[in-house]
């Protein structure tokens, strides 16, 4: 299934049932404006088409917005709905909160509908039907991982329900949600193959199921289960790091050995607008919608493995990007970088360029822009990108394994190997190996590795919540580049009229959307909302 060629089939059409008319003759008529349930669920191909459509509900570019709700990135325009979340000025009526809720339950309903109906298909190929069930289970569990991370207790729904049944739902304790996710993903892993032929690239695999189980259990603080699931992925011996971090988010690297799970796209057919969303303003009016902050840039070590706050690091604030972990320049557009159009990126307020801070309200207010997913191939038509959006990769699995073992205080050579593979297992990333076996030190190292390795990929919000550090790292002004002004002095940019807020008494979970509570009075609200 190369890039989901069959995703034009909208699942809603599959789910739509033909209306039964009073005229008995019409009972024999097959509707020609939609797919009838009575005409569907007949063949193996019907089942394949149906599961293909479930992938439409996976996250795409929206994951890029999540880091902007943390300390390492910023929603660039203060009138964007999610900017109010960053500033703490939101409540249960937030459309961002509501959209994430409804999109997740849309995917859950679709997967549950599939699982309830697929056994109607006449097939002698039990292996294929089981594989398709496994895919649906992975896709449903993926949605529940998000819901549990965002909201905590949420309704656990595993079958299609009526409107009236929906109005009687109650929130399920989050511990039970995590139980369900783990069970669902382990059942899926037993049904799925390790890999597919080229025509079916992009389908959920055994590795995707186990990798998501590792993620879910880490989020839940179930470290033994997280370590075991991650270890199973490692022992499949089919995944590894892409040789180049720089090229990891390029068209040339699609479907590489590091990708466990992604949402696949194709130009002109099933496209998105990541270039338009993230690119600097000079690049055909790129939106700079979510931009990195100084907090992220400062997290990258020097090439000899020291923090820039270390007096022995040799860090020079006048040359802040020299002698730094290469992942920095591969993740963020920095001063002097050559942009897809061929011009140099010059964000300083006194640069006189389209990317200068303050030149327009769209230009990055921090002076940094995200480089991941920005490809020259998309420059000509920024709203027509076909680059796949990676949802889970092997580097995360390695760091999950290491973190879980550290928290269990089961520190051995395998823990250091996992961390050091991420730090120096690529041709273009060669940070010094970690040798310490002290739990507290390793905890800080693995957390920093997650920050820089997975930067701007949508994991930071869940991390700082589960580590219970969000109320410490989030609040305060937003800072950007440091540059030399006309007087020759070093100046650090502070974003105007923006102050991040994180209330420890309520912001560790989002509120249950008010629209949902208006429809169902049995849905309780999270503390503080």
In sequence order, the β-bridge partners of residue 476 are 500
CB 199 within 8 A of CB 173: no
Residue whose tokens read 């801070």: 357
d(CA 78, CA 513): 22
CB 464 within 8 A of CB 473: yes
Q: How many domains does the chain have?
A: 2
Range of the domain at 339: 272-371+469-507
Q: What is the pLDDT along the chain (529 residues), one digit of tens a residue?
A: 444 333 333 333 333 333 333 344 434 455 555 566 778 999 999 999 999 999 999 999 999 999 999 999 999 999 999 999 999 999 999 999 999 999 999 999 999 999 999 999 999 999 999 999 999 999 999 999 999 999 999 999 999 999 999 999 999 999 999 999 999 999 999 999 999 999 999 999 999 999 999 999 999 999 999 999 999 999 999 999 999 999 999 999 999 999 999 999 999 999 999 999 999 999 999 999 999 999 999 999 999 999 999 999 999 999 999 999 999 999 999 999 999 999 999 999 999 999 999 999 999 999 999 999 999 999 999 999 999 999 999 999 999 999 999 999 999 999 999 999 999 999 999 999 999 999 999 999 999 999 999 999 999 999 999 999 999 999 999 999 999 998 999 999 999 989 999 999 999 999 999 999 999 999 999 999 9
Q: Which two tokens stand for residue 231?
A: 């270890």
Same domain, 293 and 146: no
Q: Is residue 456 part of a domain?
A: no
Q: Is residue 326 part of a domain?
A: yes
Region of residue 166 (phi > 0: left; psi between -120 and 50: alpha; otherwise: beta): alpha
d(CA 129, CA 123): 8
Same domain, 163 and 279: no
- What are the backbone dihedrals phi and psi of residue 429, each rounded to the nearest 5 degrees, phi first? -135, 115
Q: Which two tokens stand for residue 222?
A: 């179930």
Q: How high is the pLDDT of residue 16? A: 36
First to last CA, the chain: 45
At which of 123, 151, 169 does a domain end?
169
Q: Is residue 119 part of a domain?
A: yes
d(CA 499, CA 515): 28
Arithmetic mean of pLDDT over the chain: 94
Q: Is residue 381 part of a domain?
A: no
Helix (H) or strand (E) holding 313: none
Q: Is residue 261 part of a domain?
A: no
Same domain, 279 and 150: no
At which of 169, 185, 215 does a domain end?
169
Same domain, 291 and 148: no
What is the chain's percent helix, strand, coil content, to nearest 5? 40, 10, 50
Q: Is residue 311 part of a domain?
A: yes
Q: Is residue 418 part of a domain?
A: no
d(CA 108, CA 157): 8
Same domain, 156 and 277: no
Helices in 152-251 by DSSP H: which ranges?
A: 163-166, 174-191, 206-219, 223-235
Which of 447, 517, 445, 452 shows the shortest CA–CA distance to 98?
517
Which of 216, 229, 221, 235 shows the shortest CA–CA distance to 189?
229
Q: Is residue 342 part of a domain?
A: yes
């Amino acid at each position: 299934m190369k890039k989901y060629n069959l995703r034009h089939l909208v699942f809603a059409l599959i789910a739509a049932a033909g209306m039964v008319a009073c005229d008995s003759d019409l009972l024999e008529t097959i509707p020609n404006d939609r797919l009838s349930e009575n005409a569907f669920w007949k063949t193996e191909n019907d089942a394949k088409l149906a599961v293909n459509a479930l992938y439409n509900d996976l996250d795409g570019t929206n994951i890029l917005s999540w880091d902007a709700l943390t300390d390492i990135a910023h929603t660039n325009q203060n009138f964007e709905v999610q900017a109010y979340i960053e500033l703490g000025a939101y409540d249960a009526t937030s459309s961002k909160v509501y959209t994430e809720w409804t999109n997740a339950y849309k995917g859950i309903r679709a997967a549950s509908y599939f699982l309830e109906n697929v056994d109607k298909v006449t097939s002698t190929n039990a292996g294929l039907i089981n594989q398709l069930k496994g895919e649906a289970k992975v896709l449903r569990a993926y949605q529940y991982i998000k819901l549990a991370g965002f909201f905590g207790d949420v309704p656990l729904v595993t079958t299609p329900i009526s409107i009236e049944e929906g109005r009687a739902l109650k929130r399920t304790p989050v511990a039970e949600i995590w139980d369900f996710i783990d069970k669902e993903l382990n059942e899926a892993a037993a049904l799925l193959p390790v890999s597919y032929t080229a025509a079916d690239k992009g389908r959920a695999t055994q590795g995707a199921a186990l990798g998501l189980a590792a993620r879910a259990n880490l989020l839940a603080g179930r470290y033994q289960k997280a370590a075991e699931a991650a270890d199973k992925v490692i022992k499949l011996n089919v995944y590894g790091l892409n040789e180049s971090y720089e090229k990891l988010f390029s068209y040339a690297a699609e479907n590489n050995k590091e990708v466990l799970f992604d949402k696949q796209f194709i130009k002109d057919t099933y496209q998105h607008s990541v270039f338009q969303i993230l690119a600097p303003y000079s690049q055909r009016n790129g939106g700079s919608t979510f931009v990195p902050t100084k907090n992220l840039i400062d997290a990258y070590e020097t090439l000899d493995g020291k923090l820039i706050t270390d007096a022995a690091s040799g860090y020079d604030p006048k040359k802040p990007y020299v002698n730094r972990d290469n992942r920095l320049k591969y993740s963020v557009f920095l001063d002097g970088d050559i942009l897809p159009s061929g011009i140099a990126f010059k964000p300083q307020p006194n640069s006189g360029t389209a990317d200068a801070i303050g030149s327009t309200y769209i230009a990055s207010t921090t002076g940094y822009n995200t480089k991941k997913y920005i490809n020259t191939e998309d420059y000509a038509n920024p709203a027509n990108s076909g680059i796949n959006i990676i949802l889970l990769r092997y580097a995360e699995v390695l760091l999950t394994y290491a973190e879980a073992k550290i928290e269990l205080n089961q520190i051995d050579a395998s823990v250091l190997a996992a961390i050091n593979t991420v730090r120096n297992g690529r041709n273009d990333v060669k940070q010094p190996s970690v040798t310490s076996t002290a739990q507290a030190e390793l905890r800080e190292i693995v957390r920093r590795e997650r920050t820089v390795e997975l930067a701007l990929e949508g994991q930071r919000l869940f991390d700082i919540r589960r580590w219970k550090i969000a109320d410490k790292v989030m609040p305060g002004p937003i800072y950007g580049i440091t540059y030399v002004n006309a007087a020759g002095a070093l100046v650090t940019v502070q974003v105007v009229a923006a102050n991040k807020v994180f209330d420890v008494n309520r912001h560790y979970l989002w509120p249950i959307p008010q629209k949902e509570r208006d429809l169902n009075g049995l849905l309780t609200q999270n503390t503080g909302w």
